Amino acid sequence: MYHYDEIDQKLVDERVSQFRDQTRRYLAGKLSEDEFRALRLRNGLYIQRYAPMLRIAIPYGLLSTRQLRKLAHIARKYDRGYGHFSTRQNLQLNWPKLPQVPDILAELATVEMHAIQTSGNSFRNITTDHFAGVARDEIVDSFVWCEIIRQWSTFHPEFSYLPRKFKFAVNGAKSDRAAVAVHDIGLHAVRDEKGEVGFRVLVGGGLGRTPMIGFVIREFLPWQHILTYFEAILRVYNRYGRRDNIHKARIKILVKERGPEKFREEVDAEWAHLKDGPATLIPEEIARIENRFTRPNYLGLPATDAALEATLVADRAFANWHKRNVHPHKKAGYAAVTLSLKQTGVPPGDVTVEQMEKIADLADRYSFGELRVSHEQNLIFTDVQLSDLHSLWQEVKALGFATPNVGLLTNIICCPGGDFCSLANAKSIPVAEAIQQRFDDLDYLHDIGEIDVNISGCMNACGHHHVGHIGILGVDKNGEEWYQIQVGGNQGEVRPGVGASLGKVIGPSFARAEIPDVIEKLIDCYLERRDSDAERFVDVVHRVGVEPFKESVYGNVDQRAAHRRGHLASA
Amino acid sequence: MATLIKERRIVADTWRLLSRGPKGELPEAPAQGDAIVPLALWIERRDAFLSYPSRLGVWLDANEGPDPIAADLQRLALVAVNFPKFGDGRGYSIARLLRERHGYKGELRAIGDVLHDHLHFMKQCGFDSFLLREDQDAQEALSALDTFSEGYQTSVLRPVPLFRRRLAAAK
């Protein structure tokens, strides 16, 4: 856990005072609706369909139990007793009252938390691998780099009014669990032949209306230069990014319009002035940040636990959970555990305050008082002793968080959708539920194997549908909710093979009630074509192409024409 | 009447700001009196302006940059940067370029949609005078200059980033 120093704390406290004053001026009529909007968004405060929505930052998804208890307290005192973990590893409250928001921020500041820049045209929460620091394939501990970037991007005087929002992702391991290719800037740690740390820098990736895979602007940027290099990229973007059209304002559009090579030249020309300047990082600063992170006090344990092995043989339900929700750890005798927030019947990512408090108690007892929020909207205990897994499983199961579906079809990523969000074209949560109900047979789910199903209620793509192996997008047709299906998206090279890619739409959209059938047809098509159960759904799509999947859903060309006629008739 | 904040005080504005017309047409060149002219007028009349009897300033719009006046910065008594809309952040980069890349030492004025809540970052980026939008409460806005007591990044006012200053203080 990173712990603030005096200056970190002071800046957060000063932000609370600033926002308190802004709210006061707004309520006194001294700030226009429009101007206050730009300011409140910088504190994560939206005016949503039913009430304001406050998005609280959980930098790189890392949370202490002290903080989680504070979040529970806030959700109970100022809200309706639950919160929603988002795909940006943040927590959203859906019902706070505007005049009380400054008090909420003040409470957050007492546990080193805030809502700074969780929205608005500014740098957003930095996201990373939820196994940072414990992954066996670690290259660097990405938390350290995330924190350095968090500080650099907090209240940046030059880059606080960007053309549009700006998202960083940092991946510190060999596998890309941070989806670096679909961020405005993605960093993937690498070591050169001398073992020096640097980063592959991708720029201009993103989802939303114009999904794009980021372009590698630099194969190897030595770590000392990341901040000056960011300043160069951001200065080019801040000056020349489009501000005339909100839908063309992300950096990906600038990169595309300039052309990647031309964009790189401009960045390099700017960087020539900044490189080796005072913002060049120094080893002392890296060490200082590293030392402000507390680390678990691991015990020296054997790599295997005989009792655990025996229980895995004896208890099939436990073994199923262990297979999907327990992950290897770099430290012998420990494992990381996913608490699934994807129980059928509960909106993905939603947690009540009672559950938050119970989770905090469990994390204190089993995982050094810390937990992570994953961008898949689950919670992770990263440091659990192997000998504790069975008892932890029993406790987690009693809370409803032991659905053994991590990586499986029912572990759906889903935005709040039309039930909560004013931007949505369609509901997303009921779609997730209908799919989860259809695929309720665990053996079958395990047989289908690893697959990401992502649902967004509109093209803003908060549910990351473009990078779902199956992506579902809610669309509006004459005031009715329809759903478009895409296949073949991939968030990044989580397993060797298919890299980051965007899904392809398979054809005309469907009514909500049709979705479970469509998913079933796609799954059947996959199962018929896979070489072995090691070949995932997305691997098959990339090997055989989209056409067989299209055909499995719409039939052959003649049948498709009939389908279209049917739709026309019903429209 | 727009209010000017300069050197942390509310002061009377002695400069005449020559705006473009509603269709973007250039104003007539002034004959005398302290005046801030649009960049295009400066470029058009540069030679004549060199013998201008009073003080002369140039204002840059958000889509313009300091390059066209870089060689003349010594001659200008004031440079202003326009913020066409309060959410438009291009002026912050222009200000840093003027100060850091081109070494401009004279008065640097923010004009246009200059609001209470922008003053702190504008100041960090090198602005030292602020022509507030008319509806702003200048007394209240003064306090916004000091919203944050520190900053992590390099800026015109803090050319050395916090991590280096921290280290120097610890030694």
- Do residues A254 and A387 share a domain? no
Domain end marker among A75, A109, A143: A109
Q: How confident is the model at residue A563 (pLDDT cuts 50, 70, 90)?
A: low
**Are A394 and A420 in the same domain?**
no
Domain CATH number, residue B134: 3.20.20.70
Q: What is the CATH number of the domain that holds A64?
A: 3.90.480.20
* Burial (0-12, 13-18, 19+ Cβ within 10 Å), A211: buried
**Residue A104 binned pLDDT confidence (cut-offs 50, 70, 90):** very high
| pLDDT tens track for A119-177 | 999 999 999 999 999 999 999 999 999 999 999 999 999 999 999 999 999 999 999 99
How many angstroms separate the CA of residue B28 from the nearest CA in chain A?
Answer: 29
- Contact flag B164-A156 (C-beta cutoff 8 Å): no
Buried b (16+ CB within 10 A) or exposed e, A423-462: bbbbbbbbbbbbbbebbeebeebbebbbbbbbbbbbbebb
- Per the DSSP assignment, residues forming a β-bridge with A453 are A470
- CB–CB of A274/A228 below 8 Å? yes
Greatest mean pLDDT among A281-290, A526-535, A549-558: A281-290
Helix A557-570 vs helix A547-554: crossing angle, to nearest 10: 50
Kindly state whether A43 is in contact with chain B, defined as any CB-CB distance less than 8 angstroms: no
User: What are the E-state strand segments in A204-285?
Assistant: 215-222
3 state SS of A513: helix
The answer on pLDDT for A571 being more than 60 is no
For residue B171, being part of any structural domain is answered with no
- In a domain, residue B106? The reply is yes
pLDDT at residue A511 is higher than 70: yes
Give the nearest chain A residue to B143 (CA atoms).
A18
Q: Which residues of A touch B93 (CB under 8 A)?
A: 158, 235, 238-239
A27: pLDDT confidence band, cut at 50, 70 and 90?
very high
* B133-162 pLDDT per residue, tens: 999 999 999 999 999 999 999 999 999 999
Mean pLDDT of A29-36: 91
- Grouping H, G, I as helix, E, B as strand and the rest as coil, residue A521 is helix
> In the structure, what pLDDT confidence band is assigned to residue A49 with cuts at 50, 70 and 90?
low
Residues of B in contact with A229 (CB under 8 A): none
Interval A299-306 mean pLDDT: 96
- pLDDT computed for residue A52 by the predictor: 81
Give the pLDDT confidence of A447-490 residue by residue, as tens digits: 999 999 999 999 989 899 999 999 999 999 888 999 999 999 99
How is residue A367 written in tokens? 């995982």
What value does the mean pLDDT take over residues A320-345? 93
- Choose among B89, B152, B159: nearest Cβ to A160: B89
How far is the C-alpha of A435 from the C-alpha of A515, rounded, in Å? 8
Closest CA to A515 of A565, A463, A474: A474
User: Is B93 a domain residue?
Assistant: yes
Q: Quick one: pLDDT at residue A564?
A: 65
Within B25-106, strands assigned E span 35-38, 56-60, 78-83
Using the 3D structure, point to which of A399, A430, A459 is the last residue of a domain. Answer: A399
**Residue B11, in any domain of the structure:** yes
Residues in chain A within 8 Å Cβ distance of B60: none
The reply to whether A295 falls in a domain is no
Q: Residue A296: pLDDT above 80?
A: yes
- Which residues of A are less than 8 Å from B116 in CB distance? 25
Q: What is the pLDDT of residue A50?
A: 58
A147 with A275, same domain?
A: yes
Establish if A300 belongs to a structural domain. Answer: no
Interchain proximity A285–B163, CB inside 8 Å: yes
Say which residue the tokens 């204190």 belong to: A364
Work out the pLDDT band at B112, boundaries 50, 70, 90. very high
Residues A179 and A281 in one domain: yes
Residue B171: the pLDDT is 82
The rounded Cα A509 to chain-centroid distance in angstroms is: 26
All residues of chain A having their beta carbon less than 8 Å from the beta carbon of residue B149 are: 10-11, 14
The stretch A308-326 carries a mean pLDDT of 96
Cβ B87–A121 below 8 Å, yes or no?
A: yes
Q: In whole angstroms, give the CA distance from residue B72 to residue A260.
A: 34
Residue B153 inside a domain? The answer is no
> Does residue A275 share a domain with residue A342?
no
Q: Is residue A278 part of a domain?
A: yes
Could you say which DSSP state residue B99 is in?
I
Give yes or no: residues A434 and A547 share one domain. Answer: yes
Q: Are residues A461 and A549 in the same domain?
A: yes
Taking only the tens place, the pLDDT of each residue in A219-266 is 999 999 999 999 999 999 999 999 999 999 999 999 999 999 999 999
Residue B86 with chain A: CB contacts under 8 Å: 35, 38
Distance CA A463, CA B13 (A): 52
Using the Cβ of A29 and the Cβ atoms of chain B, whether some distance falls under 8 Å is answered with no
Q: What is the pLDDT of residue A487?
A: 97
pLDDT over 60 (residue B91): yes
Which residues from chain B sit within 8 angstroms of residue A282, using beta carbons? 163-164, 167
Same domain, A239 and A159: yes
Q: Which residues of B touch A267 (CB under 8 A)?
A: none
A158/B159 touch (CB, cutoff 8 Å), yes or no: no
CATH number of A269's domain: 3.30.413.10
Whether B155 is in a domain gets the answer: no
* Number of other CB atoms surrounding residue A484 within 10 Å: 19
Number of domains in chain B: 1
Are A421 and A324 in a shared domain? no
Q: How confident is the model at residue A496 (pLDDT cuts 50, 70, 90)?
A: confident
Would you say residue B168 lies in a domain? no
Overall average pLDDT of the A176-197 stretch: 96
Angle between helices A429-438 and A515-529 (to 10 degrees): 50
A479-to-A134, A476, B34 alpha-carbon distances in Å: 48, 6, 59
d(CA A568, CA B118): 53
What tokens were used for A480? 């009715």
Contact B15, B57 (CB under 8 A): yes
pLDDT above 70 covers a percentage of chain A that reads 97
Asked if the structure places residue B67 within a domain, the reply is yes
* Three-class DSSP category at A352: strand
Q: Are residues A471 and A345 in the same domain?
A: no
Contact A157 B86 (CB under 8 A): no
- pLDDT-derived band at A565 (thresholds 50, 70, 90) equals low
Residue A419 shares a structural domain with residue A550: yes
Domain boundary residue, one of A76, A109, A142: A109
Predicted ipTM?
Answer: 0.97
> Which tokens hold the place of A236?
């080019």
Number of domains making up chain A: 4
Q: pLDDT-based confidence at A376, cuts 50/70/90?
A: confident
A570 — pLDDT class (breaks 50, 70, 90)? low
Q: What is the mean pLDDT of residues B55-81?
A: 97
Cβ contact (<8 Å) for B150 and A11?
A: yes
Lowest mean pLDDT, pick from A260-264, A285-289, A418-422: A418-422
| The predicted structure's pLDDT at residue A568 | 62
Rounded CA gap, A353 and A71, in Å? Answer: 8
Q: Identify the residue among A161, A227, A238, A274 best suited for mutation to test binding to B, counting B beta carbons within 10 A and taking the highest.
A: A161
Q: Does residue A73 share a domain with residue A139?
A: no
Residue A498 has pLDDT above 80, yes or no: yes
Task: For residue A143, give both structure tokens.
Answer: 């938390």
CB A187 within 8 A of CB A199: yes
Residue B83's beta-bridge partner residues?
A: B112
Residues of B with CB under 8 A from a CB of A: 65, 86-90, 92-94, 96, 101, 115-118, 120-121, 124-125, 137, 140, 147-155, 159-164, 166-167
Domain that holds residue A24: 6-109
Residue A303: the pLDDT is 96
- Give the model's pLDDT for residue A48: 60
Range of the domain at B120: 4-146
Interface test with A, best of B115, B120, B152, B165 (most A CBs within 10 A): B152
**Of A116, A187, A176, A192, which is closest to residue A145 (Cα–Cα)?**
A187
Which residues in chain A are closer than 8 Å to B137, comparing Cβ atoms? 30
The reply to whether residue B121 touches residue A157, judged by beta carbons under 8 angstroms, is: yes
In a domain, A520, yes or no: yes
Q: For residue A296, is it within any domain? A: no
pLDDT given for residue B66 in this prediction: 97
Q: Distance between CA atoms of B99 and A446, rounded to whole angstroms?
A: 62
Residue A38 is nearest to which of B87, B155, B162, comparing CB atoms? B87
B92/A18 Cβ within 8 A: no
